[in-house]
Structure 1
């Protein structure tokens, strides 16, 4: 297991709405962050993204369970994100499996998350969620 990946995952899991200044310890000023719903350039925009993320959920937690360094300064983290949003799934806990691809020198300069956007969001919206459930039943 990579010491860098393990340390990054531990520090990332400790983030919350009150300590987002710690993003400076994890990411370079020119960080490029991408997930299925967002594309963020620069540490300032990343801080705003996380600030908005934490402002809109009542609970958010990452549990990391895989650490794979594939080359010098490059690796993957596997995780489960658990969150509650008051307007999604009746406020129940939503769990989503995902993976992060990271590139780093002394800090992460490229972070790309992979996860099912439907499982994260769309399936929990009132009208769209029913339509997705219907489509899944039809295709299954």
Structure 2
């Protein structure tokens, strides 16, 4: 894709993932694929193969969607492991490196256990509602 078109194409692609309803996102994705299928056939094929899974976060309550589609928590954890391993510099063995990374991740896991990342109430309420298949 030419550099001159990347920004415009990226903006259209972002629109697909900023809406709150799956049907709207699917229709925007379909329009995106129709517009760019001729010029960027291979890219559109890859997009079409992954769009169904990429929109899975829209099946969850709206208050959860931002956290589900974001990898910020994992990225922060990986940065912390990297920061801690840089302090040590050279490890005597691969096992000692794995031990330090494990300790950092366990500590983060303990912190997450006492911190509320998402309110699970809306998710539990959605699961308790009968679905069309059940009725």
Choose between structure 1 and 2: higher helix proportion.
2
Choose between structure 1 and 2: higher strand proportion.
1
Which structure is richer in relative contact order (CA contacts within 8 A, separation 6 or more)? 1
TM-score in terms of structure 1 length: 0.30
TM-score in terms of structure 2 length: 0.31
Query: Larger Cα Rg: Structure 1 or Structure 2?
Result: 2
